[in-house]
Structure 1
Amino acid sequence: MGNKVIVSNRLDGAVLAILPKFIGDAINTLPALALLKQLYPTQRICILVRPHLTEIFSRASQYGLEIISDDRHCRKKHRGLYGMASQLKHQNFALAVLFRGSLTDAVLAKLAGIKNVIGYAQNARRPFLSHAFKLDQCHHYIYRYCKLVNDAHGRPFTHFSSPKLTAQPSTLTLSETQCNVALYLGGKVKGTRYYPEHLAIQVVQHISTLKNINIFLLGDQSEQSDMASLSSLALRQNVSVHNLAGSMSLAELVDNIGAMDAIVSIDSGPMHIASACDVPCVAIVGHGTSPWSLVAPKTDKLIALTHQSTSLNELDMIQDVSPEKIYHALSTLLSEHC
């Protein structure tokens, strides 16, 4: 393998994992973190995460992780690279696993005095890594993360588990006699992944014809105006929806998705949250930030609707997934799981 195998029971000190910055990518590191916990059952497993992601991992307590906010990215108490390295240096980390391809993260681990640093040899990082591996761009993201841990430790594992989040009881008033369905269709800020309003309203109309259905719209603060417009369109069509866009913390988003009977989502964070919470999901896949095969959730409760567009305009691709296809896929999921 080209690297000296790390023997976990000979390592004295805590373990640090530096996580990706996006919700879905961060959730996909959970199986690799579970492998680390098996290798180091009595040691601290700490995760360095962007401040906005700390709430996500408050719903992952079963992994036994200690959360450290990456204050390099915090406006209120910003730390520079050296300040963050100084904070980490005092925590006796014996091992760091870099789940991002960032050169800065590799430098951070070096400045923090961490002897064993595992990561992919990309972006000029090799000199800062004690265990450098070649990245196979064809591997699924979950596989990539688990492979880092497994290969560095002599490949003791043959399989990994799927990501799991544990939702707490939702504060939403949900009907026990209705099927509760959430829609995350994105806002214009999502670019080519945004499901346009003229099609989104048709999805809402189709779904509203299902018997005993309760519809919720999801979105963050940047998508509030888009969801308010969609909600108004629905009201003019005499369709009742609950617009939750911009009103939830990330922890509450996990809880609310976890309380749903099903969700319809574009290729984004809520899709990964649904999968990790074992909630059936219809995924609408247009032109994404990564190839679909590399990020598709590993669950049998997912129906992925991928586009077959021949348009040379990337914005057109997601529009190839028709409202009728989404309606039929959701109906199938509800009949199987609701």
Structure 2
Amino acid sequence: MGSKVIVSGQVSGAILAVLPKFIGDAINTLPALELLQNLYPTQRIYVLGRPFMASLFSRADHYGVEFIPDKRHYYDAPHNILSMSRILKGYNISAAVLFRGSLRDALLMKLAGIKTIIGYAQNARSPLLSHALKLNPCEHYIYRYCQLVNEPHGKPFETFNKPTLTPQKLEQPLKGKLKIALYLGGTIKGHRCYPHDLSLALLKRLSAYQDIHLYLLGDSAERDEMETLTQELVKQNKSVTNLAGRMTLDILVDTIGNMDAMISIDSGPMHIAAACNTPCVAIIGQGTSPWSIVAPKQQNLIALHHQSMSLSESQMIRDISPQAISQALFELIK
């Protein structure tokens, strides 16, 4: 790491934080953004993220950051790194914190003329960083992000707060005395998704209880799979609504935040539930990273881990039964 400690009072321009690409990871940066806000209470703090993230941060106004869409990721007519660097030059940025380990992001900061660039020494980008920290791969993501703020500033903080989102009240009230959201994932999620036959068994088990209305969540690529599950239940006059592919990210936050509880695989909606303080049962099969470094910092979350002896990643999650999931749910909301 660069040996010179950053003195926040001597930094005159704006501060930029470069967000990770996934929803759950972006939510986990919120405590670090709060630390930046405490260090720089009178300066503008910007976050640079993929355009779809803007609606997520509309539910994080209490962190006092301003969102800059990364136009390199526009679906139509994306900008290149040079044009994006020229855009950033107009924001008078003095320091940048890279929450992604991307070499291209470090190069973008350099091209934008930012003098203080903080990030982890990975992907051969150390020469581009003014403060290159050593990554501890065993640390939870939240700690990793907070350390990027705390260490270069001389470790002024001893603790941090959990990430929070502020959902708004929905225009259309939700049905049911008990409103349960489920994100079971589609085939696009690979071995993380909860298999169709087990999902159907779980939904039937839950819908057998009176006054429960089930809401299936997902993106547009998962809508048809969720509709198949929905129609199976509708045939039996069960209370279920398919919301997959029908909402923007901010409305997804509002929807999850207005639920009584949620069931989710290890993915972004699980982190949204935790940040909204919605009780959640997490179904943990073979994930994309060790659970210990991604698990939400929330008390009202029950994580069900597979105990499978299968060597097939797609079979591991089958070890978590619909009965175990429903038992955990009612333990949360009893």
Query: Do these two structures clear the TM 0.5 threshold for a shared fold by scoring above it?
Result: yes
Amino acid in the other structure paired with 1:222:
A
Instruction: Give the aligned partner of residue 158 of structure 1.
Output: 158
CA distance in 1, matches of 2:178, 2:281: 15
Instruction: Give the aligned partner of residue 110 of structure 2.
Output: 110
1:318 aligns with 2:317: yes
SS of the residue 1:108 aligns to: helix
Q: Is the 8 A contact 1:3 1:132 kept in 2?
A: no
Say which is worse superposed, 124-133 or 230-239, in terms of deviation.
230-239
SS of the residue 1:311 aligns to: coil
Q: Is the 8 A contact 2:2 2:130 kept in 1?
A: no
SS of the residue 1:152 aligns to: coil
Instruction: Give the aligned partner of residue 212 of structure 1.
Output: 211
Amino acid in the other structure paired with 1:284:
I
Instruction: Give the aligned partner of residue 238 of structure 2.
Output: 239
Cα shift readout 1:3-37 (whole Å, capped 9, x = no counterpart): 21100011010000000000000110000000000
SS of the residue 1:5 aligns to: coil
Instruction: Give the aligned partner of residue 52 of structure 1.
Output: 52
CA distance in 1, matches of 2:274, 2:231: 29
CA distance in 1, matches of 2:41, 2:272: 26
Instruction: Give the aligned partner of residue 101 of structure 1.
Output: 101
Q: CA deviation at 1:212?
A: 1.6
TM-score (norm 1): 0.97
CA distance in 2, matches of 1:223, 1:39: 42
Amino acid in the other structure paired with 1:92:
N
Instruction: Give the aligned partner of residue 40 of structure 1.
Output: 40
Cα shift readout 1:307-335 (whole Å, capped 9, x = no counterpart): 11110000011111110000000011111
CA distance in 2, matches of 1:159, 1:147: 11
Overall identity of the aligned pairs, in %: 57
Q: Is the 8 A contact 1:188 1:194 kept in 2?
A: yes
1:230 aligns with 2:224: no
Say which is worse superposed, 140-149 or 233-242, in terms of deviation.
233-242
Amino acid in the other structure paired with 1:211:
Q
Say which is worse superposed, 146-155 or 164-173, in terms of deviation.
164-173
1:11 aligns with 2:11: yes
Instruction: Give the aligned partner of residue 172 of structure 1.
Output: 172
TM-score (norm 2): 0.98
CA distance in 2, matches of 1:174, 1:62: 26
Instruction: Give the aligned partner of residue 141 of structure 2.
Output: 141
CA distance in 2, matches of 1:171, 1:332: 30
Amino acid in the other structure paired with 1:98:
L
Cα shift readout 1:276-334 (whole Å, capped 9, x = no counterpart): 00100000000111111110000001000011111000001111111000000001111
Q: Is the 8 A contact 1:179 1:212 kept in 2?
A: yes
Instruction: Give the aligned partner of residue 80 of structure 1.
Output: 80
SS of the residue 2:181 aligns to: strand
Cα shift readout 1:98-131 (whole Å, capped 9, x = no counterpart): 0000000000000000000000000001000000
Amino acid in the other structure paired with 2:139:
H
Cα shift readout 1:130-170 (whole Å, capped 9, x = no counterpart): 00001000000000000110001000000011111000111
Say which is worse superposed, 110-119 or 230-239, in terms of deviation.
230-239
Query: Structure 2 regions of 5+ residues with no counterpart?
Result: none
- How many residue pairs are counted as aligned between the two chains? 334
Instruction: Give the aligned partner of residue 283 of structure 1.
Output: 282
CA distance in 1, matches of 2:2, 2:67: 32
Instruction: Give the aligned partner of residue 187 of structure 2.
Output: 188
Aligned Cα root-mean-square deviation (Å): 1.0
Q: Is the 8 A contact 1:19 1:29 kept in 2?
A: yes
CA distance in 2, matches of 1:76, 1:161: 38
